[in-house]
Amino acid sequence: MAELRLMKGNEALAEAAIRAGVDAYFGYPITPQSEVIEHLMAERPEERTGMIVLQAESEVAAINMVYGAASAGKRVMTSSSSPGISLKLEGISYLAGAELPAVIVNVVRGGPGLGTIQPAQSDYYQAVKGGGHGDYKLYVLAPASVQEMADFVPDAFEIAFKYRAPVMILSDGMIGQIMEKVELKDQVERLTDEEITEKYGHWATIGKKGRKERNIITSLYLNPEELEERVNKLVKKYEKMEEEDLRYEMIECEDAEYLIVAYGSSARIAQKAVQLAREKGIKLGLLRPITLFPFPKKQLLKLSDQVKGILSMELNTGQMVDDVRLSVEHKVPVEHYGRSGGIIYTPEEILEVLEKRIIKDGSIRHNKTGEPSLL
Amino acid sequence: MTDNALTYCPGCGHGTAHNITMEVLEELGIGDETIGVAPVGCSVFAYDFMNVDMTQAPHGRAPAVATGISRTWPDKYVFTYQGDGDLAAIGTAETIHACNRGENIVIIFVNNGIYGMTGGQMAPTTLEGMRTSTSPYGREIESMGSPIKMSELVAQLPGTYFVTRQSVHTHKNVRKAKKAIKKAFENTRLRKGLSFIEIVSNCNSGWKMTPNESNEWMEENMFPMFPLGDIKVNGKLKQAS
């Protein structure tokens, strides 16, 4: 039976990991996501399901423990917050290069540097545009509620194993810390070692018993043609993700004359702004990308025929707005509004920005080349 | 070993160290239950030669990668094969903490006092006064620090069960090193924790010597700093002689 609980986003994610039959978690404490490992340690998952939980000596070690367990066919994850994710990027690039399934959670805090422990969305570029070295992408899920923190764990593993690729859950300090009602799924049994051997034995490094050829997990290809072939194989995966696994939500978009694009905690605030706008007679809609890669490019392009202006709302100084602009191909003006430093905007503030910059003066400021200007 | 031709420089000790490791796995009949972790450095291509399942780790992270495999497959045999730059410089934290946790793995540490793969730069184990491409006037302790003795360091940690320093430059030494590696994998079988096998080796091309000269130089210069022999056996430190 599904169970209703009142939980923090971080706790819900940790509990969902146990219930999703995850084999191992390796992590290192950092605010505002330490509740993930704290919940896991308190729950004794090794007794509940046999799930291994280990506090590593660093984020670097944690992601490499993930790399090891993933190379051995196990369902394995780690979580951290912005500065810690920067440390994990080397390992994430290796996971992508060696085609290994794993889930990485980023409960984003403000940066750069040590920044703040307050929520932010300033790791969009890092998550969506690569972050680590080399030609790779992450499939990125952006939860906007405690419920989605829980639900996206099994979803992320499904994608990770479908594509043999690392998947990121890009949350933020607000979604990680707020308490909400969450419906927890029933316990899923972990795969047995025999099942893992049968399902993934053709690539996983688990000892070559029963096989003629040994398995090798590597991302090193010194032969240029070979590496190019590998990189092109990754590109094919990403194209398939765009075709088959794009996720987004449209709110009040049917008759919208104006559009907000927002994800994660910003989408919650945007939703309230849509309600306030509608009460004032402004036909405002919200497009919430649930996956940040793949990005709902086609949906945005289609909406650009319908709306007069788009506001990209992000808790940063303008990152996702690039993807919004690329998607609409200059058909419609796109503005960005953001706060940083851990400051969160209010729905009223958003509405005011929308009215001032997009609606009231009827046009967007244009630069000399005739393109819509930045702020 | 696989049928692939070794790509190591003629005279280098890696081939022998690989070979005795694989012989031990064969003699113990555990090769099919073993996963090796390759480092970054000359032995990054260990997986081309060692006929077991292998994962290639990011630079210095092999002990963490091995931890991930061993913790999730506790009945398998897991070993890392690392050089001095990988294990004692960039990967020091992973080395120390894997040892401290007493991971049930084997670490084979080939120490030749230089970065071979990248063309002969100074390593954490480079001897005082030794010339490398990044210490062209010799390693100067005052500004560059002293060579680090990893075996003595990790032997202090309760998690290490067996720590020994060997070499593979003579028949006699090869036999002793092989015996040590065998003992290490037997320790894994008995779940005794971490076994740390250091192999002091040569790098004739990096040291810019003939293979014979390099072995003589190793005996004269490396062994006094890195003396051969067991350092910790069955979880107990050997008395300094």
Residues A86, A183, single domain; the answer is: yes
Please tell me the predicted confidence (pLDDT) of residue A192.
98
Residues A264, A190, single domain; the answer is: no
Q: In total, how many domains does chain A have?
A: 2
Rounded distance between C-alpha atoms, residue A62 and residue A81, angstroms = 13
B107 and B79 Cβ atoms separated by less than 8 Å = yes
The answer for B176, left when phi > 0, alpha when psi is -120 to 50, beta otherwise, is alpha
Smallest Cβ distance to A91: which of B2, B58, B70? Answer: B58
In 3D space, the residue among A255, A251, A246, A283 whose CA is nearest the CA of residue A267 turns out to be A251
Residues A184, A296, single domain; the answer is: no
Task: Provide the shortest C-alpha distance from residue B94 to chain A (in Å).
Answer: 6
Indicate yes or no: CB of B55 within 8 angstroms of CB of A94: no
Compute the CA torsion angle A262, A266, A267, A273 (nearest 10 deg): -100
Residue A130 pLDDT grade (very low, low, confident, very high; cuts 50, 70, 90): confident
Helices vs strands, H then E, count in chain B: 11, 10
Nearest CA in chain B to A190: B72
Indicate yes or no: CB of A67 within 8 angstroms of CB of B61: yes
Rounded distance between C-alpha atoms, residue B104 and residue B101, angstroms = 9
**A chain contacts of residue B73, beta-carbon cutoff 8 Å:** 72, 74, 193, 206-207
Residues A278, A159, single domain; the answer is: no
Residue positions counted in chain A: 375
Residue A266 lies inside a defined structural domain of this protein: yes
Q: What is the mean pLDDT of residues A235-241?
A: 98
Q: What does CATH list as the number for B14-237?
A: 3.40.50.970
Rounded distance between C-alpha atoms, residue B178 and residue A104, angstroms = 40
Nearest CA in chain A to B51: A214
Best of B1, B45, B47, B65 to substitute, by most chain A Cβ atoms within 10 angstroms, is B65
Residue A366 lies inside a defined structural domain of this protein: no
Residue A319 pLDDT grade (very low, low, confident, very high; cuts 50, 70, 90): very high
Residues A252, A148, single domain; the answer is: no
pTM, entire model: 0.96
Q: What is the mean pLDDT of residues B56-82?
A: 98
Q: What does the block give as tokens for A352? A: 């005011």
Report domain extents, chain B. 14-237
Q: What is the mean pLDDT of residues A297-302?
A: 98
pLDDT in tens, A58-76: 999 999 999 999 999 999 9
State the CATH number of the domain containing residue A316. 3.40.50.920
pLDDT in tens, A165-183: 999 999 999 999 999 999 9
Task: Provide the shortest C-alpha distance from residue B234 to chain A (in Å).
Answer: 26
Smallest Cβ distance to B65: which of A67, A74, A215? Answer: A67
In 3D space, the residue among B114, B46, B128, B29 whose CA is nearest the CA of residue B80 turns out to be B46
Residues A124, A258, single domain; the answer is: no
Residue A252 lies inside a defined structural domain of this protein: yes
> pLDDT over 70 for what percent of chain B?
99
Phi, psi of A198 (to 5 degrees): -70, -45
Residues A45, A146, single domain; the answer is: yes
CB neighbours of residue B241 within 10 Å: 5
Task: Give 3-state DSSP helix, strand, coil % of chain B, rounded to 5.
Answer: 40, 20, 35
Indicate yes or no: CB of A56 within 8 angstroms of CB of B71: no
DSSP B146: P
Please tell me the predicted confidence (pLDDT) of residue A2.
82
- Residue A206 burial (10 A CB sphere; 0-12, 13-18, 19+): buried
Indicate yes or no: CB of B55 within 8 angstroms of CB of A71: yes
**What's the domain range around A353?**
248-360
Best of A64, A76, A77, A223 to substitute, by most chain B Cβ atoms within 10 angstroms, is A64
**B chain contacts of residue A60, beta-carbon cutoff 8 Å:** 61, 64, 93-94
Using DSSP, state whether B84 is helix, strand or coil.
helix
Is the pLDDT at A353 greater than 90, yes or no? yes
Residues A36, A120, single domain; the answer is: yes
Residue A345 lies inside a defined structural domain of this protein: yes
Residues A285, A170, single domain; the answer is: no
Indicate yes or no: CB of B56 within 8 angstroms of CB of A67: no
**B chain contacts of residue A208, beta-carbon cutoff 8 Å:** 31-32, 52-53
